Amino acid sequence: MTNVLIVKANDRPAAEGISSKMYEVFLETLREEGQLNVSTYDVFKEDTPYFGQTLFDAFGKIQSGEELTEDEGRLLKARQKAMDAFAGADVIVFAFPLWNLTIPAKLQTFIDYIYASGFTFKYDAEGNLVPLMPDKKIILLNARGGIYSTREMQPMDMSVNYMRTVFGSLFGMDIVNEVIIEGHNAQPDRSLEIIEEGMERVREAARDLSRVYQNQ
């Protein structure tokens, strides 16, 4: 059975956070369709201490055989849990907002955990980056209250663009679908219409995923 991991990166309730609602709608539709083994990694509910010197200290102590501190052990455990969840999935779905032009810090921490040489990529003899998980499929579910799809605003989006760069370009994974809901804050008179149309696209993305893998 195909394993689907949904990485939820918004702690706002679905009634307030559109990407939280996208997560709920996608998950509910997959469950209705059946056939897939679905799990969730909620970056706000998981213990995800920030990536920093503590991790590098832990690496050094492991090499020298020294005892780890409580914080070092906690960080290594959190990192390994994220890596295991990612490695075990055939399809990874990210449900995330655009906050202040970029992704939430907790989602960045998850990416920091899996962005590791020998895990998601390696370097060849010439120093080129070689993807190690090119068979994984990625789906991006993103919400942004403003309008960033115009020619002038598109370069300012460092959420979807960043995710495309990391998972599509650097990790060499196949981004098979994207659903972006935008403009519901910028156009309040059309807010309900924009959100509902977007949620229907979320449902269709879930149905498409189920159809592709239902016989595998």
pLDDT tens track for 178-198:
999 999 999 999 999 999 999
Amino acid letter at 54?
A: T
DSSP β-ladder status, 129-131 and 121-123: antiparallel
Domain coverage including residue 186: 9-49+88-213
Q: Is residue 2 part of a domain?
A: no
On whether the CB atoms of residues 210 and 33 are closer than 8 A, the answer is yes
**pLDDT score recorded for residue 161:** 96
Mean pLDDT of the chain: 96
CATH value at residue 135: 3.40.50.360
How many structural domains is the chain composed of? 1
More confident residue, 4 or 33: 4
127 within a domain of the structure (yes/no): yes
Tell whether 69 is covered by a domain: no
Residue 61 falls inside a structural domain: no
Read off the pLDDT of each residue in 61-78 and give the average, rounded to a whole number. Answer: 96
d(CA 172, CA 135): 8
- Examine residue 161 and state whether it is found in any structural domain, yes or no: yes
Whether 21 is in a domain gets the answer: yes
User: Residue 216: what pLDDT?
Assistant: 59
pLDDT at 214: 73
Extract the tokens encoding 195.
């959100």
Taking every pair of Cα atoms in the chain, the longest distance, rounded to a whole number of angstroms, is 62
The answer to the question of residue 22 being in a domain is yes
Neighbours of 38 (CB within 10 A): 20
pLDDT of residue 213 exceeding 90, the answer is no
Of the pLDDT bands very low, low, confident and very high (cuts 50, 70, 90), residue 89 is very high
Q: What separation in angstroms does the CA of 143 have from each of 41, 88, 178, 191?
A: 18, 27, 11, 12
pLDDT band of residue 51 (cuts 50, 70, 90) is confident
Q: pLDDT tens, 116-152?
A: 999 999 999 999 999 999 999 999 999 999 999 999 9
Half-sphere exposure of 169 (CA within 13 A, CB side): 7
Is 174 a member of any domain?
yes
Provide the pLDDT for residue 35. Answer: 82
Residue 34 banded pLDDT, cuts 50, 70, 90? confident
Helix (H) or strand (E) holding 39: strand 37-42
pLDDT at residue 215, as a whole number: 60
Predicted confidence at residue 92, as pLDDT, reads: 98
Average pLDDT of the segment spanning 66-86 = 97
% of the chain surpassing 70 pLDDT: 99
% of the chain exceeding 90 in pLDDT: 95
